[in-house]
């Protein structure tokens, strides 16, 4: 069976690095972004220049059901779903605008429901498929000033565990990776002093690269299907 992966939020960071890592392993790719199509076109160009794979790109709001439904109407075969699209919010929950809450939940949690809803029938039809959800250590333990983000990732963790139970009889593993501090644009909101303070708290004494995160995702994609329903923490011993 031809290996193919849908990676949401692929124009930068973990999604971009994962696209390159899977392309190197021979995966044909479906990549999405919400509003950074020029960056995603560059990713597509670099991948197809380096690897003998098909790479299709889409501008799609993964938190919009109709947009995701349309996206899947163009996908006939899929073996791996990587739910990476996400956004953050830093601030007091009491001061958070309702629209910011809704947008964050649409992107971080609703999107996982939408993609799984349409990927599962493909997986069942072909008798093979894997789901990897990108979570955060804050989904495990919560973070002050990031209550909404923590809640969204906690929801991803719970959905991962429950869906794994549903799909285990069909041999379709569902797992998540709870990442710690990764050197991505999302975490560049922190000052150098703040980043240094966080690094001091990490036993590994450094912030991980997107390429290391991608390596973790690729290894998880190749594990035996008996590994399912797990939230694997990748944080240098931080939490």
Any domain includes 210: yes
For residue 190, the enclosing domain spans: 4-234
Any domain includes 69: yes
Using the structure block, give the residue that is written with the tokens 């794979």.
53
The CATH number covering residue 67 comes to 3.40.50.720
Q: Please tell me the predicted confidence (pLDDT) of residue 185.
A: 80
Mean pLDDT computed over 74-86? 97
What element of type H or E holds 174?
strand 174-179
Nearest-CA neighbor of 32 among 45, 23, 19, 22? 19
Any domain includes 29: yes
Instruction: For 146-200, write each residue's pLDDT tens digit.
Output: 999 999 999 999 999 999 999 999 999 999 999 999 998 877 777 888 888 899 9
Q: Please tell me the predicted confidence (pLDDT) of residue 136.
A: 98
Task: Check if 30 is active-site.
Answer: no
Any domain includes 197: yes
| DSSP β-bridge partners for residue 41 | none
Q: Please tell me the predicted confidence (pLDDT) of residue 197.
A: 87
Instruction: Check whether 44 has a pLDDT greater than 90.
Output: yes
Percent with pLDDT over 70 in the chain: 100
Any domain includes 239: no
By the 8 A CB rule, do 156 and 133 touch?
A: yes
The number of folded domains in the chain is 1
Any domain includes 20: yes
How many Å apart are CA 46 and CA 206, to the nearest integer? Answer: 28
Any domain includes 36: yes
Any domain includes 198: yes
Q: Please tell me the predicted confidence (pLDDT) of residue 195.
A: 86
Instruction: For 201-235, write each residue's pLDDT tens digit.
Output: 999 999 999 999 999 999 999 999 999 999 999 99
Residue 19, judged by CB atoms within 10 A of its CB (0-12, 13-18, 19+), counts as buried
Q: Please tell me the predicted confidence (pLDDT) of residue 187.
A: 77
Cβ neighbours for 201, distance < 8 A, ≥ 6 positions apart: 238
Q: Write b or e for each residue in 175-208: b if 16 or more Cβ atoms lie within 10 A of its Cβ, otherwise e.
A: bbbbbbbbbbebeeeeeeeeeeeeeeebeeeebb
């Amino acid at each position: 069976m031809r290996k193919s992966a849908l990676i949401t939020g692929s124009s930068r960071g973990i999604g971009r690095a994962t696209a390159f890592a899977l392309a190197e392993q021979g995966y044909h790719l479906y990549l999405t972004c919400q509003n950074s199509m020029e960056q995603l076109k560059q990713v597509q160009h670099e991948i197809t220049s380096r690897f003998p794979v098909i790479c299709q790109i889409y501008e799609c709001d993964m938190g919009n059901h109709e947009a995701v439904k349309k996206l899947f109407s163009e996908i006939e075969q899929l073996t791996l779903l990587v739910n990476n699209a996400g956004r953050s919010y830093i601030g007091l929950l009491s001061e958070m605008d309702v629209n910011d809450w809704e947008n964050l939940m649409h992107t971080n949690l609703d999107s996982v429901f939408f993609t799984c809803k349409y990927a599962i029938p493909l997986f069942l039809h072909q008798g093979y498929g894997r789901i990897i959800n990108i979570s955060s250590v804050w989904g495990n333990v919560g973070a002050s000033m990031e209550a909404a983000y923590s809640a969204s990732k906690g929801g991803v963790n719970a959905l991962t565990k429950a869906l794994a139970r549903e799909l285990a009889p069909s041999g379709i593993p569902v797992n998540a990776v709870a990442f710690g501090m990764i050197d991505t644009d999302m975490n560049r909101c922190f000052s150098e002093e703040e980043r240094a303070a966080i690094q001091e708290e990490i036993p590994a004494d450094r912030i991980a690269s997107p390429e290391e995160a991608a390596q973790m995702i690729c290894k998880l994609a190749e594990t035996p299907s008996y590994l399912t329903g797990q939230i694997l923490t990748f944080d240098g011993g931080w939490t």
